[in-house]
Amino acid sequence: MRAVVQRVSHASVTVDGEVVGAIDGPGLLALVGVTHEDTEETARRLAGKLWTVRMLEDERSCSDIGAPLLVVSQFTLYGDARKGRRPTWQAAAPGPVAEPLVDAVVKALRDLGAHVETGVFGAQMSVALTNEGPFTVLLEV
């Protein structure tokens, strides 16, 4: 699994003109991609990393201060454009495999005590955010 994680002061996801998930205050936006070899254990490890990674002000984590997370599925994180001009998506897991694993990340975060908002898997989403820092990290587990 791969996640692009951004420290935010606000982030939201809109689908068909309706906000479906939003966080305010210091928190993290995690764009999550799934590949073919990922499992529920991989999802739990990513959730643990997201909950404890020290990306917030004063090197604190979401678990330290109870900061919220917005988790958005993004298969394009496994796009490969090294050859030609058109990315391939071969490394991205198909929806029936990826959706339950993104859900598993969210469930594991909530089991750890996190407040988690989400997008809508497979939907055309508009993601708005205020990246603080800017501070963006790529996590892979």
Q: DSSP letter at 36?
A: T
- Known catalytic membership, residue 75: yes
Between strands 69-73 and 18-33, the pairing is: parallel
**Can you tell me the distance from the alpha carbon of 74 to that of 8, in angstroms, rounded to the nearest whole number?**
18
- Known catalytic membership, residue 118: no
Which residue's entry shows tokens 């990340």?
A: 105
**Can you tell me the distance from the alpha carbon of 88 to that of 76, in angstroms, rounded to the nearest whole number?**
9
**What single-letter amino acid sits at 129?**
L
Candidates 6, 35, 74, 118; catalytic one: 74
Candidates 76, 88, 90, 130; catalytic one: 76
Candidates 14, 42, 75, 118; catalytic one: 75
C-alpha torsion sign, points 124, 7, 49, 51: negative
Catalytic residues: 74-76
